[in-house]
Each structure stands twice: as structure tokens, then as C-alpha cells.
Structure 1
């Protein structure tokens, strides 16, 4: 199993939970970690400061393209950041659990 983490952010808890629930139902991810944080960024020529909910999704590399496309479709942001982070090492037990959830 080649595990990856996918990171994105949402404008609020409602959208983060709604999208995450759909990804879990489609078995595109095995779990998610959601955390609120302050975000500072450029938007339309101005520096903005907002609260966002960051989502860390754990999945397998073969799910990447479908997960990315599904996130693009469901995401409330006009230009969402969807980043894939390849995991170099992962404990065997967790990797086996991921395989059972995603492919079992």
C-alpha cells in the first residue's frame, strides 16, 4: 500500500464536515483530521485574515485522482488548494487497516 495524505482547507465546519462525509461514503479516504485555524492570504489584491478549517485526509495513492476531482466538484472555494503529500514511511498495522477499509 502506498499511503498519501491530502490537505485542503474549508471556510467553515459545516462545509468541511459535509465534504468529508461524502468522501468517507465514497471510500476515497479512510479518515480525516479537521482543525480550525487562522488563515492569512492574498485575495483580489488584499491581505485577508479569516478562520478556516484545515482537513488532513488519509488515503492510498490509487485514490488520488478521483479524490482530487471529487474535491474540486464539492469544494466551496473558487480556487481550492488540494495538496498531495506522499508518505515515506507508515507503520504496517495502519497500512493494513487502510487497505481493509479502502479495498476490503
Structure 2
């Protein structure tokens, strides 16, 4: 169902890894589609000091029932000690697009 669609996000400091995490999730049928944002600058606390890094944000379009498997898949392949992993509920959007995401995950 379209209301089961969620967006899950992580980041990578390596563009090739970001592409690998994106393509692999689609090939594994864990996400219907993935977007990689242009490099962003991240500031964060790490081990008692402020760090700055160039990162690529990876956004996975998936469904609630595939979310746990996607999270495990990403964490197995992600080199960060504490990779960002957040999920965003999709509360609306194009019915056609949301149906496509749901149908793609149902066939996986």
C-alpha cells in the first residue's frame, strides 16, 4: 500500500561507496529507488571534538516491511562506526509514484 512507503537515509564520505550502497540496495530488491545527493558538508561531534566532512546523502525509497532488511544490509556494508540511519515517513505524494514504490517492494 502507498501509505507504507518510507524514506531511509544514510551518508558516506566516499562517492563510489555511496553508488555501491545505492545500486546494491536496488539490485537486492530492498529499495525501489535510491537518490544520492551532491556532496554536502557535515559538521558533527565525534570523540569529543567537532568534525567536518564532505559526504553524500543516500535516500532509499522503500516500504515498512523491507525496512529492517534494508537497515541490516546497509550496516553490514557501511564502514562507519556509527553510520547515520534515519527513516522518514511519507505522508503524501503522487499516488502513482507511491504505488510504484509499494509494487516494486512487493515483488522483491
Normalization by structure 1: what TM-score? 0.92
2:61 is the alignment partner of 1:61: no
Distance 1:100 1:46 in 2: 45
Give unpaired runs (5+ residues) of structure 1: none
Distance 1:29 1:90 in 2: 17
Distance 2:18 2:30 in 1: 15
User: For the aligned residues, what is the CA RMSD?
Assistant: 1.1
Where has structure 1 moved over 3 Å in runs of 4 or more?
none
Query: What is the deviation of 1:98?
Result: 1.4
Matched position secondary structure for 2:8? strand
Match of 1:11 in 2: 13
Query: What is the deviation of 1:84?
Result: 0.9
